[in-house]
Amino acid sequence: MTGASRRPGEGRTPSASRKASSEADVRGYHEPVLADVVLEFLAPGADGLFLDGTVGGGGHTRRLLETCPSCRVVAVDRDPTALETARRELEEFAPRVRFVHCRFDEAVGDPGVRAEGLEGALLDLGVSSHQLDEDARGFAFRRGVPLDMRMDPDSGVSAARFLEEASESRLAEVFRHLGEEPRSRKLAREIEKRRVTRPLRTSDDLVAALAVTLGRAPSAREKARIFQAIRIAVNGELDALERALPALRDVLKDGGVLVVIAYHSLEDRMVKNAFREWSRACVCPPELPVCVCRGRPLGETLTRHPVRPDEEEIARNPRARSARLRAWRRAA
Ligand SMILES: C[S@@+](CC[C@H](N)C(=O)[O-])C[C@H]1O[C@@H](n2cnc3c(N)ncnc32)[C@H](O)[C@@H]1O
């Protein structure tokens, strides 16, 4: 189970995700993706303060705390249920973890983080398996699921309200840009037509609009793309990432490492471009005869190509399949 990757409606059912032992409970909540690779990039610093901006079920943070006996972690999630789960699951490490309920782009302003600086930071983007598997959270395209999709159910507008209030052109843009849907305008028009008489409330309403647009039953992949696009829009996910990247870079200590796992091509491109730009010595426009910018790289990209889960991990955890991990180190 991974972040965005995750096709709503796929994978385990809520009952199948309930396991007996505490370790299995966390796995049932969310299995951390590329956990060994994350540790390889973050753990060499060993000591000091780390930020897990997407703590979810606490899987990555647990591995970090186990591996580095004296490190401390600021564990952040915008989903209060996720944060409560992580707090419970990481109880044994209590003195070394501080839980903060906020978005990761806001966490960078935390006074403790600003004062001390970070040895490392992790963003494991998207949604957790638990969020996808809980019908009440409204992320999945399983039948009868209410359209909600907010990671923080107490803030912002639900997917149902978004589909009710967004202009037709905004809907089309979301479906095209975030969902790469070739019939984005047609789908937006179909939603506009339907909502005049009856607002879209459940996954079935949205799937029905998509089916009329396509002239046939949509495949799981087609449904997943549209549901994911709406989720990204409802939660402002790209904006949060865009704000967080430079802010995290600036609170890293010298030699500190930023690791990002993305599950959507737009997120991954944003991370790739940011890391590439920060790793260049000169960022002057090419027409300038002499360099007038910083004239030195801010750090180095540690992953020439994104790291992807191997076949064994994907077989164990199919929701990991679209994961792309990139890492960057601030100059010492
Ligand atoms: C893929 S899961 C992380 C799983 C986690 N690494 C683990 O091992 O259990 C993503 C989590 O990030 C949270 N999240 C997504 N975007 C966020 C943001 N902008 N700020 C804070 N939390 C966010 C989601 O609520 C979800 O719990």
- Domains annotated for the chain, with CATH where assigned, are 22-130+237-330 (3.40.50.150), 152-234 (1.10.150.170)
Give the residue among 233, 220, 260 at the shortest CA–CA distance from 177. Answer: 233
Residue of 138 and 275 predicted with greater confidence: 275
For residue 312, give every residue at least 6 positions away whose Cβ sits within 8 Å of its Cβ, in sequence order, or none: none
Residue located nearest, by CA, to atom 4 of ligand 1: 56
| pLDDT tens-digit series, residues 239-263 | 999 999 999 999 999 999 999 999 9
Q: How far apart are CA 235 and CA 149, in angstroms?
A: 8
Decide: 56 and 69 in contact? Cβ < 8 Å.
no
The pTM of this model reads 0.90
Closest approach atom of ligand 1 to CA 130: 27
User: Given ligand 1 and candidates 17, 36, 51, 128, which is best to mutate, with the most ligand atoms within 8 Å of its CB?
Assistant: 128
pLDDT digits 0-9 by tens, 140-165: 899 999 999 999 999 999 999 999 99
d(CA 19, CA 29): 9
Q: Which two tokens mark 107?
A: 């966490």
